[in-house]
Amino acid sequence: MQSLGFATGADVAVATLYCCECNLCTMYACPEDLDPKTVCVQNKPLARERGLTFKGDPASITPHPLAEFRRVPMRRLIAKLGLGEFNNVGPLKEHVFSPRTVNVLLKQHAGLPAVPVVKSGDRVRVGDLLAVPQQGKLGARVHASIDGVVKVTDDAVIIEA
Ligand code: SF4
């Protein structure tokens, strides 16, 4: 943040491209309660527009020598985020969930709704393909989550076991 605020060199702007947006700096590490992650996110398209890219040798990159000592203690992170009351230490319980009906939406993703490849009355098995992306458009394949008989509606494929 200091570098971005007080320096104008391309190296500093390029450095934001390496941000994986983990949000650790914003939610945990910044002592000033600033938002470095968002700064990186907003700077990335600007850096790309200006044609700024990493010019070095990727093989020359090595972890910081103190990386091992910079890990975030999970207990501190949970405390800082105020998640202590939700920290389930177990034991976890096995629960078998067997719904008789599922409503599988045709749009569960970026892009356009998927197009059904099944018709009402078809019998499907778990994992079978129910719908595919529209030709040439962004979308995702949709699969059956249970065995059963399908009913196709405008926005979903309903499966009854
Ligand atoms: S700048 Fe912040 S959000 Fe980006 S990788 Fe580093 S810690 Fe994560």
| pLDDT tens digits, 118-154 | 999 999 999 999 999 999 999 999 999 999 999 999 9
HSE, side-chain direction, 13 A CA sphere, residue 82: 1
Pocket test for ligand 1, best of 14, 16, 19 (most atoms within 8 A of CB): 19
List, in order of start, the domains of the chain with CATH numbers: 2-86 (no CATH), 101-160 (2.40.50.100)
Burial of 11 (0-12, 13-18, 19+ CB in 10 A): exposed
In this structure, the number of other CB atoms found within 10 A of the CB of residue 70 comes to: 9
Predicted confidence at residue 9, as pLDDT, reads: 56
Task: Please give the distance, rounded to the nearest whole angstrom, from the Cα atom of residue 21 to the centre of ligand 1.
Answer: 5
- Asked if residue 3 has pLDDT above 70, the reply is no
Residue 158: name the closest of 130, 129, 128, 136 by CA: 130
CA distance 161 to 157: 13
CA distances from 125 to 98, 145, 159 (A): 14, 8, 10
Predicted confidence at residue 6, as pLDDT, reads: 62
